[in-house]
Amino acid sequence: MGKWLFLWLQQRSMEYNHRAIEAKWKKNWDHQHTYKTLNDTAKPKYYVLDMFPYPSGSGLHVGHPLGYIASDIVARFKRQQGFNVLHPMGYDAFGLPAEQYAIQTGVHPAVSTEQNIQTYRAQLDNIGFSFDWSREVKTSDPSYYKWTQWIFLQLFEHYYDQNANKAKPVSELIQQFESGGSSGVNAFHSHDEHFSAEEWQAMSPYQKDQVLMNFRLAYRKTGYVNWCEALGTVLANDEVKDGVSERGGHPVERKAMMQWFLRITAYAHRLLDDMIGLDWPEALKTMQNNWIGRSEGAQLFFKIDGHDTELEIFTTRPDTIFGATFMVLAPEHDLVGQLTTPAQKQAVEACIQYVKGRSERERMAEVKEMNGAFTGSYTIHPFSGEKVPIWIGDYVLKDYGTGAIMAVPSDDERDKTFAQKYNLPIVDVVDKTNYPGSTLHDKEGIIINSDFLNGMEVPDAIQLMFEKIEGMGIGKRRVNFKLRDANFSRQRYWGEPFPIVYDADGVAHALPESELPLTLPDLEDFKPTADGQSPLAKATDWVKYGAFTRETDTMPGFAGSSWYFLRYMDANNDQDFASTEALAYWQDVDFYIGGAEHAVGHLMYSRFWHKFLYDKGLVPGKEPFKKLVNQGMIQGVVESIYLYKSHDGSHQFYTEELAKEHSDKEFALLPVHVDFVTEYGSPRSHLTKAGIAQFLEWRPDYKGSVFHLSEGVFTLETLPENARLTTKSEVGKMSKRYFNVVNPDDMVDKYGADCFRMYEMFLGPIEQSKPWDTKGIEGVSKFIKKLWQLMHKGEAFLVSDEKATKEELKVLHTAIKKVSGDIEILSLNTSVPAFMVCVNELKRLECNKREIMEGLVALIAPFAPFIAEELWSKLGKTTSVHHSTFPVCDESYLVEDNVVYPICINGKRKGELTFPNGADAATLEQMAMENDFVRKLLEGQAPKKVVVVPGRMINFVI
RNA sequence: GCCGAAGUGGUGGAACUGGUAGACACGCUGGACUCAAAAUCCAGUGCUAGCGAUAGUGUGCGGGUUCGAGUCCCGCCUUCGGUACCA
């Protein structure tokens, strides 16, 4: 017994001890400030950024570090290549979960957030990231949100000048109003208003404030917002998914509320145009494109029969105007009250009430269901002079275009459905017989039934109509965007307070810069109030500001994350959000990695803020993120068993096949811990007898359950040894409630950080989503051990100073070439096999020569920083391997004397022959033809054709 | 519906501009060491037929271009992601 234990211990001591070595180097790197980055202008810069995490209470699971590992490899690689690398990390620390947690437990969000951050930090350090923690950023820290508030004030104090195509101070706009009123002002705004200088001067402060709110880049208005009752706050469009809140999945309804907005729409065209030069995934660019949703068309005014006002509509198809048999207004449209005749009043109001009563979710569920009512009024068709009835309809949206359309039921799916439901006339205006397969959506066909447009092709007719409309003065060409202004108010506690106070008239004033940061008051009670008031309203002393009152809403989650990448450049500056020098040196992010879920939220807002700061001359470039990569998600396998919903309180589980057969019975799917499941993640996943025993121990409340298997009905005691209770296996989220969370700490503890890092990379292409599977990690673990043993004999470190052979050099340089190329194109999953092949080959050659080992260790350092550092120091180096020079491939070692050629007949490989490297096509053909093997293949016939690709293959066509 | 991405062994996945499909790893099978196990090492492993050399077949399906197609073109199918009354 003692002998075996001794042998086992001896064997263990020969192996790489990751726990001790990782602890040693973590400490050492910390003391030596190995990863501290200086704003050193002598070196070329490289900025590698991860999307910073929200520090949630559950900590990191194995999916989170995927992107961080990839970016860390890039950062370390660039550092070894001589770049001054900025590779920071921080926390997106404001947000709903911390506040929800506070409501449930009474723990202050600042306290729980700080605890969570410490957990995150420890987890990140375990994995061996090369972050420069001296630049750490927390969005909830007053020294940080001071500048978030400051940027908000800049937005508040600016408007968008469309002549200069940039943001300008509101003070300049006021000067223009004072001297010349609204005429000559070409500023981006929400709605048209005209006034003279005298009228402006005569306005009350409140009226002036209202006018300016129409121009400010951060402004207040009453708008229809996504109100979430359960969360007690409004949400931005990108925070709502499928009609429910993205966080928590609570129902969301539309509600009119006074809110802060950011005028991102002023930047719509620039957000669209500047995307062209970005090295971003095409899919993501397309998503932003669609979200911005540019469409060209005409703004068009229709006279209203018996009224002075005109009805403004937007259409991309002015060519179909002769098919416009009715008009539709959004139910919330301003003119609805005015246009509704007494006879129609009841019908219109009933319709409006019905539409209001439907939740966003219901509307989504019954998308094609349309509701409307006739107002009783008519417009005059500008060309035919006919009376066209005006309807209201819920399929027309208040916020898009002008909230009103001319309906062309013959050429628009939705108009057609509406016309059919309410029996409205349909007139065909486009003949598509020459365009088979063309849909209503496609702008092609010949115009018919349309007076002067008859016989024209659609695109020509559109052009002609633009000219007609502009010529007649009844409208203009216009570009519309789907993009809406961003709702910036949240009725929550845990966010940045607005540096805004209101006077007795309700006019908004900016706090002076000297009073920033405006810190959050301490609160005991975080609950939102039912009437939509922010919890901050309860801090009555805080709200009072002399004769003024403070804004009590807070900023949304995306406020702090819209500029954090700039703060890292100069994180401890208390005079500025970052110094001009730091911004000039670091410029922009060279490499940004994060999840695609931020495609239209964070990435859009960040670009918007950055462009605004650019207009102000505060940042050097137009775009913040040069290259962007979306890493995929690591999912979890969700295993569940079928529990029959019995009415007598008994617990009966069914094997999957039986559950499917009994479609008459109702089953609940009970998630079961993946550790109990045999062959989890496959169609054969099942619980064995032992698995069922484990399950019952884990959930004692199910003791005494009955199991329906294909062999019969059993209890735990009567189960046969080979029992199989098949489970339902799905790929889903890694989450506590599915009992499938894998903690990186456990992986690191068991296999070591280097092994964990390499395995995550080995799993597959970085941008691909895949379920986590621990089984394969053994392969990488073996590789790490082999690497260690290459330089050890027994316990002793042993390398030879002999000169390396050509073959050994070739092995090393093949790996150097492959790995450096792979990192550049972020194909990290293929680098890992390159290392494996290299180590396997060197082991076969019994090579432990210093020359080769030094190259190998420096090469693997970005992937496996701990073992590389340890081996590097054992190789006698006194400085860190992470400051060493990355090996460069010498192509001359890769040249072969001979090349093995596949010999093909009609493209099918029949065998192979070796010929000297460098032989040209003619020589190769001749040598091949003379070869006995080839002669036999050709059976004496002369080939019709011989294709020779030097270095590749030889093909005979017979 | 529309937009985008992807379909390769039992599994994760390789394959640069068209040029030996399945690298590397997991798993599995057999063997060595061991009283035994773990660990380690060696060999085999797409499928079908055959003791075997070998032959046939094979990258979602159907066509096409080419001396040669996982890769290019046309038409489908499936899966995943995004989006949705956007006028």
What's the sign of the alpha-carbon dihedral A426, A432, A436, A438? negative
Q: Is the dihedral of CA A769, A770, A776, A777 positive or negative?
A: positive
pLDDT at A918: 78
Residue A903 CA distance to nucleotide B19 C1' (Å): 11
Three-state DSSP at A342 gives: helix
User: From the alpha carbon of A944, which nucleotide's C1' atom is closest?
Assistant: B67
Cα distances (angstroms) measured from residue A508 to each of A146, A156, A533, A668: 19, 10, 18, 55
Q: What is the residue whose two structure tokens read 């007949």?
A: A905
Residue with tokens 């259409």: A315
Report the run of H or E that residue A858 belongs to, with start and end.
Answer: helix A850-860
Q: Count CB neighbours of A285 within 10 A.
A: 16
* CA→C1' distance for A287 and B84 (Å): 13
Cα separation, A408 vs A327, in Å, equals: 9
Contact criterion met (CB below 8 Å) for A234 and A489: yes
Distance A776 CA to B29 C1' (A): 19
**Phi and psi at residue A833, in whole multiples of 5°?**
-60, -30
**Spatial CA neighbour of A393 closest among A410, A361, A411, A368:** A368
Distance of A82 CA from B15 C1′ (whole Å): 32
**Helix or strand (DSSP H, E) at A905:** strand A898-905
Closest nucleotide C1' to the C-alpha of A763: B12
Q: DSSP assignment of A135-180, as one string? A: G-EETTSHHHHHHHHHHHHHHHTEEEETTTTEEEEHHHHHHHHHHH
Nucleotide nearest A682 (Cα, C1'): B11
- Provide the pLDDT for residue A544: 93
* Strand ranges for A580-656 from DSSP E: 591-594, 628-630, 634-644, 652-654
> Which nucleotide has the shortest C1'-to-CA distance from A953?
B19
Determine the protein residue whose CA lies at the shortest distance from the C1' of B34.
A4
Are A75 and A590 contacting, i.e. CB atoms less than 8 angstroms apart?
Answer: no
How does strand A253-262 pair with strand A486-487? antiparallel
Tell me the Cα Rg of chain A.
35
Length A613 CA → B1 C1' (Å): 40
Tell me, in Å, how far CA of A495 is from C1' of B1? 39
Q: What is the pLDDT of residue A576?
A: 95
Nearest residue: Cα versus C1' of B82: A287
Closest nucleotide to residue A483 (Cα to C1')? B86
Q: Which of A759, A805, A944, A786 is nearest to A871 (CA)?
A: A786
Q: Is A849 helix (H, G, I), strand (E, B) or coil?
A: strand
Locate A920 and state its tokens.
């040209």
Joined together, the tokens standing for residue A239 give 């925070």
What is the CA A897 to C1' B67 distance in angstroms?
28
Rounded CA–C1' distance between A93 and B59, in angstroms: 47
Residue A147 CA, nucleotide B1 C1', distance (Å): 45
Separation between the CA of A593 and the C1’ of B82 (whole angstroms)? 19
In angstroms, the CA of A206 and the C1' of B46 are apart by 78
Q: Which nucleotide's C1' atom has the smallest distance to the CA of A778?
A: B26
CA distance A880 to A859: 13
Mutual angle of helices A777-790 and A865-874, in 10-degree steps: 10
Cα–Cα nearest to A828, from A785, A780, A893: A780
Give chain B positions with protein CB within 7 A: 2-5, 10-15, 19-21, 23-27, 35-41, 55, 67-69, 80-87
Contact yes or no for A325/A388 (Cβ under 8 A): yes
Residue A389, sorted as left (phi over 0), alpha (psi -120 to 50) or beta, turns out to be beta
Instruction: Name the nt closest to A907 by C-alpha to C1'.
Output: B68
Nearest nucleotide relative to A775: CA against C1': B26
* Beta-bridge partners for A241: A244
Which nucleotide has its C1' atom closest to residue A786's CA? B40
Residue A455: count other Cβ atoms within 10 Å of its Cβ. 12
Q: Which of A219, A300, A224, A292 is closest to A256 using CA atoms? A: A224
Nucleotide nearest to A954 (CA to C1'): B19
Q: How far apart are CA A108 and CA A122, in angstroms?
A: 22
Q: Can you read off the two tokens belonging to residue A728?
A: 């339902």
Buried b or exposed e, range A187-201, using 16+ CB within 10 angstroms = bbbeeeeebeeeebe
Which residue has the least CA–C1' distance to nucleotide B86?
A: A482
Q: In the numeric block, which tokens belong to residue A663?
A: 């479609």
Cα dist from A757 to A63, A66, A695, A740, A916, whole Å:
12, 8, 32, 20, 41
Phi/psi of residue A539, each to 5°?
Answer: -85, 75
Per the CB < 8 A criterion, the answer to whether A235 and A207 are in contact is no
pLDDT of residue A577: 96
The residue with tokens 């598509």 is: A432
User: B19 C1' – A941 CA distance, angstroms?
Assistant: 24
Residue of A386, A378, A377, A380 whose CA lies nearest to A451: A386
- Please tell me which residue lies nearest to nucleotide B21, judged from CA to C1': A909
CA of A907 to C1' of B67 (A): 7
Which residue ranges of chain A lie beneath pLDDT 70? 1-14, 238, 242-243, 358-368, 436-437, 530, 663, 682-683, 940
Spatial distance from the CA of A640 to the C1' of B12 (Å) = 23
Centre a 10 Å sphere on the Cβ of residue A430 and count the other Cβ atoms it contains: 25
Give nearest nucleotide to A370 (CA–C1'): B85
